[in-house]
Amino acid sequence: MEINKKKIRFVVGLAIAIVLSVAALIIFKDFIFEPIVHPVRKIAQTIEYGIVTDSFKIDRNEVKPGENLGSILTRLGVDKKFVGNLNSYTDGVFDLRKLKSGNTYTAMMSNGGDNKLKYFIYSINDTSYVIFDFRDSLHVHKDAKDVSRQLKSLSGVINSSLWVTMQQAGADPNMAVALANIYQWSIDFYAIQKGDSFKVIYEELSVDGKQISIGEIHSAIFVHNGKEFYAHRFEQRNITDYFDDKGQNLRKEFLKAPLKFSRITSKFSNSRMHPILRIRRPHHGVDYAAPKGTPVHTIGNGTVVKASYSGGAGRLVNIRHSNGYSTTYMHLAGFGSGIRPGASVSQGQIIGYVGSSGLSTGAHLDFRVYKNNVAIDPLKIESPPALPVDASYKASFDSIRVLYEKNLKLIK
């Protein structure tokens, strides 16, 4: 009988527990219970070049004049069997002859008493580096840091030159070169004037929070002699070019000038006093004064007809272009690589270097242009443009153009 009472009490207790559990589920069905978790303390790690550096002793230094990789590694205690056979490890990865004084390197050594070198990282430039891994044997590989790109804007008013204006604005002077490259077919940068102005939307490239250079220019407006010159970057059929506000290509058959950042000392004339002969005679060209060795670029695609020394003209290059045009570059100090009769050249290619060969009072380039063998003023060439925005891409271009021009107007 006692056993039956115990069974009854057990069954009743179980039933009550079940009822209470069901009731609890009904009452608290909208509540979420989370398990109690004890927080785990995270240990901060320092990572450089993809390597956790906390367990290493770090030595940062730079390559001194006269040093080579072998001498540096020997000083860091690397086994002679590796030092004497470095070329076999770096072959196809890095040319040891290109180690430059002033470039930095990082040595990571064990933190114990042996001070043994584990990693050696040589910085080729701001982004690329070579890792020498000494942990087991020697393994060498090249890698690169992540480059961050951020859209920036810049504006300025010319007081003396584009280059000086960039410096005064605290901007990367290479922006002057980039703008000159974009507008080289439409603006003569030797003739820009005080009061000319520009606005630019561009990419700023940085590594580890440090600015390293400028990236692509997305859009720009250059006001020259009161006229607005737009440049919008746009890609069609996998080819990227810069176009004006009407969709016309800024790139043309001929460049505006064969030199960058120089000055004109003599223009096209039918009667000029020769500086050496002291007689008046025609000067059917334009003289550009520039330091000796300044690169000279062909203004258009063509074929080299002549590249030789020619009396008073000194060293010269003559190039035949399409549509009856030809150009001549005189008084050169030397010729560009591969420049010889019969060679094909591309627009902007270096064909020689400014010099003072022949009858010349100083380093300069005498540049001449001919149409059907008749001399014409190089400063007055009407060069036809390259292909404009195709009709099938016009709607896409216009949407980007409107956005660019709206943002350019917002730049003060």
Considering the domain architecture, whether residues 277 and 321 belong to the same structural domain is answered as yes
Considering the domain architecture, whether residues 152 and 129 belong to the same structural domain is answered as no
Q: Is residue 267 part of a domain?
A: yes
Residue 28 pLDDT class (50, 70, 90 cuts): very low
Q: Which residue has the tokens 């490259």?
A: 181
Considering the domain architecture, whether residues 127 and 167 belong to the same structural domain is answered as no
Q: Is residue 33 part of a domain?
A: no
| Last residue of one domain, picked from the residues 126, 144, 162 | 144
Count of structural domains, the chain: 3
- Beta carbons of 215 and 203 less than 8 angstroms apart: yes
**Which structure tokens are listed for 140?**
């060498």
Considering the domain architecture, whether residues 135 and 163 belong to the same structural domain is answered as no
d(CA 63, CA 60): 10
In this predicted model, what pLDDT tens digit does every residue of 281-314 receive, in sequence order? 567 788 998 899 999 999 989 999 999 999 889 9
What are the DSSP calls for 277-338, one per residue? T-SEEEE-SEEEE--TT-EEE-SS-EEEEEEEE-GGG-EEEEEE-STTEEEEEEEEEEEPTT
In this predicted model, what pLDDT tens digit does every residue of 65-107 receive, in sequence order? 999 999 999 999 888 878 888 888 888 899 988 999 999 999 9
Q: What is the CATH number of the domain that holds 123?
A: 3.10.450.350
The number of C-alpha atoms within 13 Å of 36 and in the hemisphere containing its C-beta is 0
Range of the domain at 136: 47-144
In this predicted model, what pLDDT tens digit does every residue of 54-74 receive, in sequence order? 888 999 999 999 999 999 999
Q: Is residue 21 part of a domain?
A: no
In this predicted model, what pLDDT tens digit does every residue of 357-406 receive, in sequence order? 998 888 999 999 999 999 999 888 877 777 899 999 999 999 999 999 99
Considering the domain architecture, whether residues 312 and 229 belong to the same structural domain is answered as no
Query: Residues 351, 356, 358, 361: is their CA dihedral positive or negative?
Result: positive
- Beta carbons of 221 and 199 less than 8 angstroms apart: yes
Considering the domain architecture, whether residues 106 and 201 belong to the same structural domain is answered as no
Q: Is residue 5 part of a domain?
A: no
Mean pLDDT of 195-217: 91
